[in-house]
Amino acid sequence: MSKPAAGTTWLVDDNRSVRDSTGAFLEAIGLTVRTYASALEFLDKFESDRSGCIVADYDMPGMTGLELLETLRRRGSRLPVIIITGRGDAALEQRVLAAGGFRMLHKPIDGLELADLVEQAVSEAA
Protein backbone atom coordinates (compact mmCIF):
# COMPACT_ATOMS: atom_id res chain seq x y z
CA MET A 1 0.00 0.00 0.00
CA SER A 2 1.08 3.28 -1.09
CA LYS A 3 1.25 6.90 -1.78
CA PRO A 4 -1.80 8.57 -3.29
CA ALA A 5 -2.13 8.20 -7.04
CA ALA A 6 -2.20 11.24 -9.21
CA GLY A 7 -5.51 12.46 -10.64
CA THR A 8 -9.02 11.43 -9.74
CA THR A 9 -10.65 8.06 -9.35
CA TRP A 10 -13.97 8.09 -11.21
CA LEU A 11 -16.22 5.50 -9.60
CA VAL A 12 -19.32 4.40 -11.58
CA ASP A 13 -21.69 1.86 -9.95
CA ASP A 14 -25.48 1.75 -9.78
CA ASN A 15 -25.34 0.01 -6.39
CA ARG A 16 -25.35 2.74 -3.80
CA SER A 17 -23.72 0.82 -0.96
CA VAL A 18 -20.85 -0.34 -3.16
CA ARG A 19 -20.43 3.19 -4.49
CA ASP A 20 -20.51 4.88 -1.08
CA SER A 21 -18.32 2.36 0.74
CA THR A 22 -15.68 2.13 -1.96
CA GLY A 23 -15.62 5.90 -2.29
CA ALA A 24 -15.28 6.25 1.47
CA PHE A 25 -12.31 3.91 1.58
CA LEU A 26 -10.48 5.37 -1.40
CA GLU A 27 -10.92 8.85 0.07
CA ALA A 28 -9.70 7.54 3.43
CA ILE A 29 -6.45 6.52 1.86
CA GLY A 30 -6.13 9.96 0.28
CA LEU A 31 -7.44 9.50 -3.24
CA THR A 32 -9.67 12.04 -4.94
CA VAL A 33 -12.88 10.26 -5.75
CA ARG A 34 -15.93 11.19 -7.85
CA THR A 35 -18.92 8.83 -7.83
CA TYR A 36 -21.68 8.30 -10.42
CA ALA A 37 -24.79 6.07 -10.34
CA SER A 38 -24.73 5.31 -14.07
CA ALA A 39 -22.49 5.33 -17.11
CA LEU A 40 -24.69 7.92 -18.79
CA GLU A 41 -24.47 10.26 -15.81
CA PHE A 42 -20.67 9.91 -15.87
CA LEU A 43 -20.40 10.57 -19.61
CA ASP A 44 -22.66 13.59 -19.19
CA LYS A 45 -20.17 15.28 -16.80
CA PHE A 46 -16.91 13.92 -18.18
CA GLU A 47 -14.38 16.09 -19.92
CA SER A 48 -11.74 14.48 -22.01
CA ASP A 49 -8.76 16.30 -20.46
CA ARG A 50 -9.32 14.62 -17.10
CA SER A 51 -6.67 12.33 -15.63
CA GLY A 52 -6.76 9.44 -13.18
CA CYS A 53 -8.56 6.08 -13.36
CA ILE A 54 -12.12 4.91 -14.00
CA VAL A 55 -13.62 2.14 -11.88
CA ALA A 56 -16.92 1.01 -13.47
CA ASP A 57 -19.39 -1.71 -12.62
CA TYR A 58 -20.20 -3.98 -15.56
CA ASP A 59 -23.84 -4.77 -14.85
CA MET A 60 -25.67 -1.42 -14.92
CA PRO A 61 -29.00 -0.45 -16.47
CA GLY A 62 -28.87 1.73 -19.56
CA MET A 63 -25.20 1.24 -20.42
CA THR A 64 -22.84 -1.49 -19.20
CA GLY A 65 -19.31 -0.82 -17.93
CA LEU A 66 -17.97 -2.46 -21.07
CA GLU A 67 -20.07 -0.19 -23.31
CA LEU A 68 -18.78 2.79 -21.30
CA LEU A 69 -15.20 1.62 -21.92
CA GLU A 70 -15.90 1.23 -25.64
CA THR A 71 -17.53 4.67 -25.80
CA LEU A 72 -14.55 6.31 -24.11
CA ARG A 73 -12.08 4.65 -26.46
CA ARG A 74 -14.17 5.74 -29.44
CA ARG A 75 -14.04 9.30 -28.09
CA GLY A 76 -10.25 9.06 -27.87
CA SER A 77 -9.91 8.84 -24.10
CA ARG A 78 -6.86 6.78 -22.99
CA LEU A 79 -7.88 6.87 -19.32
CA PRO A 80 -7.35 3.44 -17.65
CA VAL A 81 -10.59 1.58 -16.90
CA ILE A 82 -11.04 -1.10 -14.25
CA ILE A 83 -14.26 -3.11 -14.61
CA ILE A 84 -15.79 -4.57 -11.47
CA THR A 85 -18.49 -7.24 -11.70
CA GLY A 86 -20.60 -9.54 -9.60
CA ARG A 87 -21.43 -12.04 -12.31
CA GLY A 88 -18.89 -11.75 -15.11
CA ASP A 89 -17.01 -14.79 -16.36
CA ALA A 90 -13.76 -15.47 -18.18
CA ALA A 91 -15.37 -14.65 -21.51
CA LEU A 92 -16.36 -11.20 -20.27
CA GLU A 93 -12.84 -10.64 -18.93
CA GLN A 94 -11.50 -11.37 -22.43
CA ARG A 95 -13.83 -8.82 -23.95
CA VAL A 96 -12.89 -6.20 -21.35
CA LEU A 97 -9.20 -6.64 -22.03
CA ALA A 98 -9.79 -6.72 -25.79
CA ALA A 99 -11.66 -3.42 -25.58
CA GLY A 100 -8.66 -1.84 -23.86
CA GLY A 101 -9.69 -2.26 -20.22
CA PHE A 102 -6.94 -2.36 -17.61
CA ARG A 103 -8.32 -5.20 -15.51
CA MET A 104 -11.54 -6.90 -14.45
CA LEU A 105 -12.17 -7.46 -10.74
CA HIS A 106 -14.78 -9.80 -9.26
CA LYS A 107 -17.01 -8.61 -6.44
CA PRO A 108 -16.87 -8.76 -3.48
CA ILE A 109 -13.99 -6.30 -3.80
CA ASP A 110 -11.43 -5.54 -1.15
CA GLY A 111 -10.67 -1.80 -1.25
CA LEU A 112 -7.00 -2.50 -0.53
CA GLU A 113 -6.67 -4.56 -3.71
CA LEU A 114 -8.62 -2.02 -5.71
CA ALA A 115 -6.38 0.81 -4.45
CA ASP A 116 -3.29 -1.14 -5.50
CA LEU A 117 -4.74 -1.67 -8.97
CA VAL A 118 -5.73 1.96 -9.33
CA GLU A 119 -2.19 3.03 -8.41
CA GLN A 120 -0.76 0.51 -10.83
CA ALA A 121 -3.07 1.64 -13.62
CA VAL A 122 -2.27 5.32 -13.14
CA SER A 123 1.47 4.77 -13.01
CA GLU A 124 1.36 2.64 -16.16
CA ALA A 125 -0.74 5.26 -17.95
CA ALA A 126 1.66 8.03 -17.01
Partner 1 sequence: MAADRQDFGALFTQAPGLYLVLDPAFTIRAVNDAYCRATMTRREEIIGRNLFEVFPDNPNDPAADGVAKLRLSLQRVLDLRRPDVMSIQKYDIRKPDSEGGGFEERYWNPINTPVLDSGGAVQSILHCVEDVTELMRMRKSETTHIAMAREQQLVIDRLRDANAKLADQMEQIRALRRYTYFFALLVENSIDPVITFLMDGEVKSWNRAAQEMFGYDKTEIVGRHVDMILPPDLKAEQDALWARLRAGEKIHDFETLRRAKDGTDVTVALTLSPIREENHEIIGASQVVRDITEQKQTQKKLLGLQEELIHLSRWNTMGMLASTIAHELSQPLTAAMNYIRAAHRTVGGLDLPEVARARDFLDKAANETKLAGGIMRTLREFIEKRKTNRAVDDLNRLVEETVVLGAAGSAEVKAMLRTQLLSGLPPIYVDRIQIQQVILNLVRNAVDAMSNSERRDLIVATAMDGPGHVCVTVSDTGPGIAPDVMARLFQPFVTTKENGMGVGLTICQSIVEAHDGKIWGEGNERGGATFGFRLPVADPVEKQNAA
Helix (H) or strand (E) holding 72: helix 65-74
Per-residue CA distances from 92 to 38, 45, 63 (Å)? 20, 27, 15
Do residues 64 and 39 lie in contact, with contact meaning Cβ atoms separated by under 8 Å?
A: yes
Is residue 9 part of the contact set for partner 1 (CB under 8 A)? no
Closer by beta carbon to partner 1, 75 or else 106: 106
Which of the ranges 39-47, 48-56, 67-75, 110-118 carries the binding residues for partner 1, by CB under 8 A?
110-118
Closer by beta carbon to partner 1, 5 or else 46: 5
d(CA 106, CA 87): 8
Is residue 3 part of the contact set for partner 1 (CB under 8 A)? no
Chain residues 15-54 in contact with partner 1, contact rule CB under 8 A: 15, 17-18, 20-22, 24-25, 27-29
Minimal distance in Å, beta carbon 68 to partner 1? 17
Do residues 81 and 54 lie in contact, with contact meaning Cβ atoms separated by under 8 Å?
A: yes
Per-residue CA distances from 48 to 24, 73, 93 (Å)? 25, 11, 25
Ramachandran angles phi, psi of 107, nearest 5°: -75, 150
Minimal distance in Å, beta carbon 70 to partner 1? 15
- Where on the chain is the footprint of partner 1 (CB under 8 A)? 15, 17-18, 20-22, 24-25, 27-29, 59, 86-87, 89-90, 106-112
